[in-house]
Each structure stands twice: as C-alpha cells, then as structure tokens.
Amino acid sequence: MREPAQIRMLPDGRRLHLHDGPIDLIIEADGPRRAVEQAYKAAATRFVTILDELCAELPLLRAPVFPNSPRPSSPIARRMYDAVLQYATSGVGVRHAGPHVRTLSPWHRHSCLCSPELGATPSPFERGLFITPMAAVAGAVAEAVLQEMTQAADLPRAYVNNGGDIAIHLAPDQSFTVGMVERPESPSLFGSATITAESGIRGIATSGWRGRSFSLGIADAVTVLASTAAEADAAATIIANAVNLPGHPAITRVPANQIAPDSDLLDLHVTRDVGPLSPREIRQALNSGLRVAETLRDKGLILSAALCLQGQVVVTVQDRRGSELQLRLETLCERGASAPEEMLCQPKERIHA
Amino acid sequence: MAEVLPPDTVRCDACPVLCYIKKGHSGACDRYANVDNQLVRVDPHLLLDRAKSQGAPLVPFLEREQEWDGQLLKGRETFVTAIGAGTTYPDYKPAPFIVSSEVDGVDLVTVVTEGIFSYCGVKLKIDTDRHLGPERNLVRAQGEPVGHITTAEYGSQMLSIGGVHHLTGGTKSEGRVTCETLLDLCNGKEVALTIDDGASITVAANQQPVVNGQREERMRVGCGSAAIGMFAKQWFGKVDEVVVVDDHITGVLSEHQAGKMLGVRETGIAIQGRRSTPGRYFQVAQPGTGWGGTNISDPLAILRPFKAKLAWPNLRLLMVSTTGEHCAYYELDESLRPVEKDLPSALQESVARIRENCEPALTTVLFMAGAGGSLRAGVTENPVKLTNSVKQSLTRVTCGGAPAYIWPGGGITFMVDVARMPENAFGYVPTPALVAPIEFTLKQSDYAALGGHIDYIRPLAEVLREKDRQRQFTSLPANPWPLKSSPDRGEP
C-alpha cells in the first residue's frame, strides 16, 4: 500500500524531515521564525507530490541520455536530465556505450557507466560516457525543494540535504561549514570545508561504493562542490566510478542483479567490497579519479572535489574562482566531541529519527 | 493478475518506486527489507512489545497495521525504548521522549534518549583455556590498538576493548577502528582481533569464539585437579593412571588426594613443571592453544621417564585435557616407555563425560559506559538528583529494554549484556563515540520531585500514534519487564 509522504520536525525542533519512499530530506533554514515557518511550509507543500511525479516518468529517467534523446516533462525530471546532458553531448565527449550498459534501478541504485568493459577506468572525455538522469535525482530534488523555500521567504541561509546530496542557499556574506565523512558506518571526518556565498558553490554531493547507490569504483567517498546540487550529484558519481583499480584481486565485484533483481544493469559488476590496498595502489586509484575530477573542473562542471580511499585523501587544486576545500585533518583529530560542522557529507546519511 | 516474482524476491508497494527486494536485502529506501521472503519494515525507532506469546522479533508490516488498530493496544503493554529515539545532546534540552504510562495503578514516567558515550567500552568474556596472550598485552583490530588482555576468570579469558583513551586519545585511525570494533561487537557482528605476542581470534556476542582458526566448542569442566576430583571414582579400576593436562593446574590421579582416598597405587609417573600440592602441577608447559590451554600437541612432552622402582610393564595411562577434547591412551612396554593404544571403550565413556560436563564456550559482551552530564540534563534540571535516584533504586535504568547493572559509587556507570538488547541497537557519531539507548523509568511523583521535565511528558498512547516512525518488537523472554516494579529476575 502506498504510504503517504511524511512531514515532521526532528526532535531538535530546528530541522524539518520530509520522507517519501526512498527520498529523505533534512532541511534547515536560518532566519526570523516567521520566515523559517513560511519556508518549511513551502518545502512541505512542494514535497508531497515529488515522488509521484518522478515515478510517472521513471522508465525514461532510467534510460540513457544521448544527444537528442527525449527530454522528460516534469520540472525536477528536467533538472536531472539537464544536469547529465552535459556529459552526453559533444564538447564533453561521447562514445557509444553498448546496448547492455544501462542504469541501475531501482531508484538510487542508478549509476552512470562508462565504457562497456567493466572495471576500465572511466574517463568521460576520452572514452565516451554513458549516463542516465537518475545520476542526478537526489541533487535535483534537493535543489527544487530549496528553490521553493527561497522563493517563499527571505532567508540568510538554508540547506536541503537529500541523503548526502545537499542544495545550499547563502545570502551575501553568509557561509556554511561542512564536514566530510568517508564511510557511513565508520566514524571519521576526512576533512571539512567552509563554503562562502562568494564561492559560487550551491551544491554538494558525496558518492562512494559503501553508499546507497551502487558504484563501479572503489572510492570510500568523493565529495564534490558544484554550482548546483544536481550537477554535484552527477559529477560525484562519475568521479567515484573513476577511482578504481581494474582487475585488482582485493576488490569484490558482484553482478548488480544479484543484489537488486529489477536492476536493468543485469549482471554488470558493482563494487561490494574492497580489501586492504597498498599505499601505492591507493595513490594510483585516487590519481585516476583526480584526473577525471580536474577535467570536470576545467570544463566548469564542478568547482572542486575531495577524494578519499582507505584513509588517503586527494583534493583538486584550487581554481581561480577561489572555491576551496580547507582540509584541516590535524585539528579534526584533536578535537573532542563537539565538531562545529553544520552538516556532514557522507555517502549515506544516518537519520536520527 | 498475480505477478510472477523471481525466487526469494518480494515486491514492495510502500511507495511508487515498487522495488523488487531480494531476500536479505532492503529496498531503495532502506526502510523495507526482505526478511525470509516477508516484507518487513525496519524503521529506526523501536517499541518493546510485551506480547503474551513470544513471536518473531520483527513484525511483518501488514500484520502490524492490523495490530496497531487502537483497540488491540489496550490488551498489551508497550515500553518505548531509546533505540532510534535520537538525542538532544549536546543541547541542555529535555530528552526526545518522556513518556508516561500507568502500570498496576501507578503512574510511571520513562525518559527515553540515546546517549552519546565517549567513555564507553566492552568487556569480552571468552570461554576458553587457550592462551590468548600475556595479560596486559594490546588487542588490535585492523592493526590498530583497541584494548588489552585483562585479568583472566575461571575458564575464561577476558578482554577489555574500547574506552576513551583508544577512542579519542590516540591517532585518528585508532579512534575510528576502536569505534567500529565496539559498534560491531555491540551489534552482534563478528570481529577479528589479534593479540600482541598472542593469538588471532574471531568473536561475536553469544557465539563460539574462534582461536587461531579453531572454533572453541566447550569451556573446561574445571582445572586439571578439579577434573581428577570429579571423575576419580569413574576411572578407578579401569585405568592405572590419569593425567588431566591443564595450563593452570595439571592433575595426576595416583598422587592426587582423590586418588589416595580411593587407594590408587603409586605409578612412578614423573611430570614436568612445578609441583604445587600432591598430584597438582603448575606450568607443565608454556601457555598455548594446544592441549588444555598449553602449547603442547603431544601430551608425552610433559612426562619424564617413569620411575623404574614403582612403575610396571602394561601400566595403563590415560591423558586427557580439561575439556575432554584431547585424549590419548598408553600402556607401558617392557622398558617402561608409554606406547599409544586405542582408547578402551570403558574409558571412552569417562572422556565423553568430561565433554558433557563442559558448558558451551561463548564470547559474551558487556557494554559498559557512563551517563554524563548533558545526558542527565535531558532527564532533569538537577542532574545529581537523577544519579541519587538511580542509586536509591527509585529509578530503573534499562538499555533498549534490557536491564542494566549500575556500578556502585559516583556517577551512573552501567553495564548491560548486549545479547539481551534488540538487534542493531547501537550507533555511533564521528567524534568518535558510541550511541546507545538508555531509558530511565521512575514513578511520576518521584520524577516531579527530582526536577524532571514534567511539561514534556507525553502519554504512551500519544507516542504510539506516531506509528510510521516506529518498529515494534517482542521483549526477550530472559529480560524482566522494564516497567514492572519488582523485577521478574535479578539484575545481571
């Protein structure tokens, strides 16, 4: 039976929790009480129909995007499509991916895939990239809800966190600090970042093989900062896929349909376990991911990215627009219980209901 | 038309995504799972349900919908656990749930919160005589120090894992691995540990321990000397000499008081090691994972030549370990050297008896933590009053509905057997620290007296109405009912 969408305040009395099927949004807005109330009301009103809208077009959203492929009709589906279209059109390079390479359903278990040979290091600009709108679903939903909020009220700061894909709103001179978590089930921050209004960052997304979505790569976490949440979402998946060591014996890959029977990825292999790797192997895998991340940054698709694998972290070099991931690993180690990070970015958020 | 599903698959219709879910997996939302081909809701907030009949701990959600039809609620008692309740830490705010209910005419209040414990750890009792490593040596997980070997107990080796110094006092990686190890142990998962200069073990709560790849089946019946005392009569007449090999005290029948009482003849046997009292020997070998917790695999290694004056050809010798797991039978040849022979059937029985008297070897996990300042502030505006109320047994402390033992002295330092708690009751925060459920139950009048957040009390029925957030499960039969004023059983 269809369960209705749920709307409630979290026990802290500050954050709004919206839940419908696989969508879980944690929302927080700063500002005068009245403005926050208006924003939350707008978010909830918009939210309740989102899942049905998306599911009405689900087959299309799970199908690969090519230049001139049919564009979905609902606004969030269009955001998704537009965010991934850049990877599938000229200028970003396309190569035919082969008919058996499809998206991974249901829902979050999508992936965007590259060349048909599994395990090959995906490199979107040389080998062609295969992607479906589902690669941006979480970010697109977060963005759409945030937009309703900022249109309904004048807010200095707000965010919508959709299971680790976060859309943020910052009025001039405002900023957020975010902490980055490498593994959802294991406690450690691998870095933190301060995001200022001036940075142009409005979307944050984290992808990794331990997360809710399947990954072809072995990254514990790739956190991407981009201009929109939908773009960050798609890019995080692509970069996380590129952190890889094809054919390495310590990596367990399992046919997707053994895990999710209705996966149209069929028996393509997704990462299920990564054994201990040597420091050199870790660097090698991270570097292949970093190359993709820097290409995406040069193309203007992301602002920066941090990639984490088995305790090692690499970060894209700061770009001219001044966005930065200020890694503060030493201070994080020393700090006690109360980390000041306002949000945690991790492959999947644990929701304290 | 009924849909034909692949084997071991259910289709979830809780939302329009309509996931196909394979057995043992959850759907895209992680809220619905296929448990033995039934669609089950696995939401975070648990309600402990005291059902008359003890059913499966997870209730299939469709049946649950029927059960939650208000009327049925009256007939059963429900206790709100803190699992998934969330926490207001570090804010000094009332706990997430303060629930009132009436039991036997008394108004009770249960304050429900999840505690974030930086000061916490587990004590592992591993039922084995095998030598795991020298006392005080480090215990490691994934190469990181996470605890140490502490004082051994009767028939068991003890490990202390976790604690604030490993969680936050060492490197970042040490803290992370310690937290992960604690979380897994508390949630009943298997954990691989190595001990410096010692064994590699695999342990999980209430499972048999695996020491150096070997699964431990039984804990010893007693020390070697105790085994002689227990079984001397059954051996008498069937064998001339028995040596019970034990790393702690090896027993020798003919020299032992029990053998003397029966009139067992001297055999001229000579044992390595240090004699304690007649028939009892310390340190017959090095500690290890062989016979009786020693390092030997050939029991003759602990014997010196028989004394020719006393021994005789054809003397019958049984050597056995304290668990009956190892045994060998010998007869002396003309030159008084033991020659291994098949174990006579009369003795097979006595060896089997030793085995029968050994209890199953288990690893048991006690979670131990201290409820600090801000957690108590979620209960009352005057935190020390809560401590005092717990000390005076006016307030009962439970963890996920399981009884907690409160360590005497200052603060609220408690211990709980994780096996008595519901599955996956523990979580973590990146500090790193563990998140564990804790419930304080007391009379409403006492709660008011200690400065409780009376304004935040909600009736049970109101909390139960938020059923979309809750999971109901059946109280474990071994646990006293948390709301009962006199516990069914003593505290652990």
Q: What is the DSSP letter of A108?
A: T
Higher-confidence residue: B475 or B356? Answer: B356
B137-188 per-position pLDDT tens digit:
999 999 999 999 999 998 899 999 999 999 988 898 999 999 999 999 999 9
- Tell me, what's the pLDDT at A342? 55
CA triplet A7, A10, A12: central angle to 5 degrees? Answer: 155
Where are chain A's structural domains?
Answer: 6-55+136-345
Q: Is the peptide bond before A106 cis (omega within 30 degrees of 0)?
A: yes
Q: Is the distance from CB of B323 to CB of B246 less than 8 angstroms?
A: no
Which of B28, B44, B180 lies at the smallest CB-CB distance from A108? B28
Cβ-based neighbour number of residue B301 at 10 Å: 15
The lowest-confidence range among B92-96, B369-373, B433-437 is B92-96
- The residues, ordered by sequence, that sit 6+ positions from A65 with a Cβ below 8 Å of its Cβ are A81, A84, A85, A87, A88, A131, A132, A133
Burial class (CB in 10 A: 0-12, 13-18, 19+), B71: exposed
- Tell me, what's the pLDDT at B150? 97
d(CA B89, CA A235) in angstroms, rounded, equals: 35
Tokens matching residue B165: 């110094």
Beta strands per DSSP E along B97-143: 97-103, 106-117, 120-126, 138-141
- Tell me, what's the pLDDT at B89? 47
- Tell me, what's the pLDDT at B37? 82
Higher-confidence residue: A277 or B433? Answer: A277
A260-315 per-position pLDDT tens digit:
776 655 667 889 899 999 999 999 999 999 999 988 988 889 988 888 898 888 88
B267 touches chain A (CB under 8 A): no
Higher-confidence residue: B452 or B306? Answer: B306
Q: Is the dihedral of CA A244, A247, A251, A253 positive or negative?
A: positive
pLDDT classification of A103: cutoffs 50, 70, 90: very low
Which of A261, A262, A344 lies at the smallest CB-CB distance from B430? A344
- Separation of first and last alpha carbons in chain B: 55
- Tell me, what's the pLDDT at B487? 38
- Tell me, what's the pLDDT at B473? 64
CA triplet A199, A204, A210: central angle to 5 degrees? Answer: 150
The lowest-confidence range among A231-235, A346-350, B84-88 is A346-350
Q: Tokens 């009943």 belong to which residue?
A: B188
Over residues B271-285, mean pLDDT = 91
Q: Is the distance from CB of A79 to CB of A65 less than 8 angstroms?
A: no
Over residues A154-158, mean pLDDT = 94
Helix axes A137-152, A229-242, angle to 10 degrees: 160
Complex ipTM > 0.85 = no
B14 touches chain A (CB under 8 A): yes
Verify whether the Cβ–Cβ distance B13 to A185 is below 8 Å.
no
Verify whether the Cβ–Cβ distance A185 to B180 is below 8 Å.
yes
B397-426 per-position pLDDT tens digit:
988 888 899 998 888 999 999 998 888 888
DSSP A202-215: -EEEEE-TTSSS--
pLDDT classification of B78: cutoffs 50, 70, 90: low
The lowest-confidence range among A26-40, A314-328, B420-434 is A314-328
Beta strands per DSSP E along B154-219: 156-162, 191-195, 200-203, 210-211, 214-215
Verify whether the Cβ–Cβ distance A187 to B86 is below 8 Å.
no
B357-386 per-position pLDDT tens digit:
888 899 999 999 998 767 787 788 888 888
- Tell me, what's the pLDDT at B381? 81
Cβ-based neighbour number of residue A117 at 10 Å: 11
Beta strands B405-406 and B412-417, pairing class: antiparallel
Q: What is the DSSP letter of A110?
A: -
Which residues in chain A are closer than 8 Å to B6, comparing Cβ atoms?
Answer: 261
CATH no., domain A6-55+136-345: 3.10.520.10
B117-145 per-position pLDDT tens digit:
889 999 999 998 888 999 999 999 999 99
- Tell me, what's the pLDDT at B227? 92
The lowest-confidence range among A80-94, A157-171, B377-391, B404-418 is A80-94
d(CA B130, CA B133) in angstroms, rounded, equals: 9
User: 3-state class of A219 per DSSP?
Assistant: coil
- Tell me, what's the pLDDT at B326? 92
Q: Name the residue in chain A with its Cα closest to that of B427.
A: A185
Verify whether the Cβ–Cβ distance A187 to B176 is below 8 Å.
yes
Which residues in chain A are closer than 8 Å to B45, comparing Cβ atoms?
Answer: 353
- Tell me, what's the pLDDT at B471? 62
d(CA B63, CA B66) in angstroms, rounded, equals: 5
**What is the CA B131 to chain-centroid distance, rounded?**
19
Q: Is the dihedral of CA B173, B176, B181, B184 positive or negative?
A: negative
- A16-33 burial, b at 16+ Cβ within 10 Å, e below that, comes to bbbbbbbbbbbbbbbbee
- Separation of first and last alpha carbons in chain A: 22
B116 touches chain A (CB under 8 A): yes
Q: Name the residue in chain B with its Cα closest to that of A162.
A: B29
CA triplet A271, A277, A282: central angle to 5 degrees? Answer: 85
Tokens matching residue A11: 């026990």
d(CA B43, CA B150) in angstroms, rounded, equals: 38
B432 touches chain A (CB under 8 A): yes
Q: Name the residue in chain B with its Cα closest to that of A312.
A: B173
Higher-confidence residue: A319 or B455? Answer: B455
